[in-house]
Chain A
Amino acid sequence: AAGVIQSPRHLIKEKRETATLKCYPIPRHDTVYWYQQGPGQDPQFLISFYEKMQSDKGSIPDRFSAQQFSDYHSELNMSSLELGDSALYFCASSFHPGQGEITGGPAGELFFGEGSRLTVL
């Protein structure tokens, strides 16, 4: 079965550089979530999209932005990178049957990708 695909799997950047992470959700999933997980930490919610529109926002820095495209893939753009941005970035997707509004509430389980490990030097 198809899973959530993230790319790149590993990324090394210098301070103040920019980085873009990509996420391809499971086919027919309508919601994409981005989480950041620092070393030894729990995943922290950044942002989510339902049917290509932002549905919920968490602790995403202003230096970061994200969008979901017409083919449902999503990209997380990170600018002016700082050392503290070094982390695993996870994308997850889910499906909300019968959800008519953009509420952001999960209807069930999230399916996670393997993550993109960003190292900022």
Chain B
Amino acid sequence: SQQGEEDPQALSIQEGENATMNCSYKTSINNLQWYRQNSGRGLVHLILIRSNEREKHSGRLRVTLDTSKKSSSLLITASRAADTASYFCATDYGYSTLTFGKGTMLLVSP
């Protein structure tokens, strides 16, 4: 598998706090993406970062990519109860299709 583990597997925080999730992968990549999934629902794309980028922002989301460590992090600032979901990173390399990591389950309590 191209993907390693995401950590933490589960994260529980209070509203207003920041949430940081990490993702590791094994091979070279073209792009790394983060997706969100509410329980039993489809995955929703959050943000894409290319292998030549180191940081990207979108609203309350901040993604970093360290290709030397083959890792990425997703930071959600000022979290809300509505951010409760599972978050997956996914990578592609060469001409491969997107491969997903194990995911982090985030619980934001009011």
Interface of A toward B, CB cutoff 8 Å: 4, 33, 35, 41-45, 48, 56, 58, 88, 90, 92, 103-106, 108-115, 117
Contact = CB atoms under 8 A, between A and B. Distances in A.
Contacts of B42: 4, 90, 112-115
Interface of B: 3, 30-31, 33, 35, 40-45, 48, 88, 92, 94-103
A33 B96 CA distance: 12
Contacts, number: 62
Contact of A90 (B3, B43, B92, B103): B43
Interface majority SS (helix, strand, loop, mixed), chain A: loop
A106 B45 contact: no
A38 B98 CA distance: 17
Nearest to B101: A42
11 contacts: A35-B100, A42-B88, A45-B99, A104-B96, A105-B96, A105-B97, A108-B31, A108-B48, A110-B98, A111-B45, A114-B42
A93 to B, nearest CB: 12
Contact of B102 (A42, A48, A103, A110): A42
